[in-house]
Amino acid sequence: MHPTIVRATKYAIFGVPIRTMVHALEKTPTPLTLRQLLDNGGSPGSPPSLEGLLASAAFTQRELPIRLARRVRQFYSLPFLVASNPYIQRIARLYASSFARLDNVPPIETPEQNDEFVRILQQLVIDHSDNAEVLSMGFAECGAYMDAEQIGSFLNAALHSRIGIRIIAEQHLALTASATGDESRYRQTPTSVGIVETQMRLADVIRASGEYVRNLCEATFDYAPALELQGDVDVTAVGVPGHLEYVMTELLKNSFRATTERHLKEAARNGIPPVTVTISSTPSDICLRIRDQGGGIEAENMARIFDYAYTTAKSEPVDTSGDPMDVTSGALQGTMGTLAGLGHGLPMSRLYVGYFSPDNTVDVVSLLGHGCDTFVRIERHIEMSNVAI
């Protein structure tokens, strides 16, 4: 063992003894691909065998502590005043405690042991559900100690890792649910393998996101644009529907809010122009274009739209009398949730779209005085299109 590690073993990082993290930090996480998730999960629409389920448990049990330990080390590398921020401290300690809990789980060799492991994973997913929002709030308070480029780099690494951690955990939870017949949270289809859908209909996901955002917009403004879908509406792809749903919800929130705000004064007389999503596909790619009439984005703001905590939403003054950890304070809110205001929708959408391939992109083109076109490019993963169903 390296001598500096030996001398450090009596110390703790965010409440966890360093000695318990050394072994995990010496390992390298396995790159995560859609093909790997499909291969580990068995045939689409069928529950995994006991052997396959235990193999998934072993993979999950190995990978999560490695990834959590690396995130703890990343938080430990922050400047002292940044790491001391209460929002950032909360997430750092959460990663450390999650690592410690998973590191103490014995090897999983029976269905009963897997059931207990699943209960731990379920709590982990719940505990980490608001990490992105809390981190964004924390770093918004630390601009004096880190510049925007440093903050963006840290958040990209942390949130990219968070996506992988969640995929691994939820894939095993979904496979276990399939094996036990429990569809209370993870509903399996004849074409799904865990959380991966081998025949994901993009139009269905877009419509569901659009319906949610439309209701949210109406709850906030009393008016909302219609969603129009054009192009190759029958196209399918291999992917994680939850990821596309998140991305489309965030992008449609931007378009619905901007369009409604711009046309609100004449809405009762002339209505609100629609938001149009066009789907195009080739053998190698699927492209989405979200077109709105929200007035566009000022040229000086375009360079910042993918920065964390940057938003063009018109928010009310923050109410500091309530819960200090309420990260939705100051955002446009309706009775169904938050429409805008936190400023992490675009950068997070780019991370989700690009997680399985750096060639997947999100780009925005502004026609100032009229509106924006937002483009999403997704690889078809054509080599997976012939998965047996």
Distance between CA atoms of residues 162 and 351, nearest Å? 10
* 377: β partners: 287, 361
CATH 3.30.565.10-classified regions of the chain: 196-384
Distances (CA, A) of 139 to 105, 120, 164: 33, 29, 22
User: What is the C-alpha separation between 168 and 146, in angstroms, rounded?
Assistant: 31
* pLDDT in the model for residue 23: 84
- Residue 195 DSSP SS3: coil
Please give the class, per CATH, of domain 3-190: mainly alpha
Question: In this structure, are strands 196-201 and 192-193 parallel, antiparallel, or unpaired?
Answer: antiparallel
Low-confidence ranges of the chain (pLDDT < 50): 1-9, 315-336, 382-389
Q: Is the dihedral angle over the CA atoms 198, 374, 277, 339 positive or is it negative?
A: positive
Class for the domain spanning 196-384: alpha beta
Is the distance from CB of 121 to CB of 169 less than 8 angstroms? Answer: yes
What are the pLDDT digits (tens) for 116-171?
A: 999 999 999 999 988 888 888 898 898 889 988 898 899 999 999 999 999 999 99
> For the chain, where do the domains classified as CATH 1.20.140.20 start and end?
3-190
How far apart (Å, rounded) are the C-alpha atoms in residues 303 and 286?
26
Q: What pTM was computed for the model?
A: 0.84
Burial of 388 per CB tally in 10 Å (0-12, 13-18, 19+): exposed
DSSP per residue, 264-303: STTHHHH--PPEEEEEEE-SSEEEEEEE--S----HHHHT
Alpha carbons 336 and 277: distance in angstroms, whole number: 23
pLDDT at 143: 84
Q: How far apart are CA 214 and CA 227, in angstroms?
A: 8
- What is the sign of the dihedral through the CA atoms of 134, 140, 146 and 152? positive
Q: CA 193 to CA 188: how far, in whole Å?
A: 8
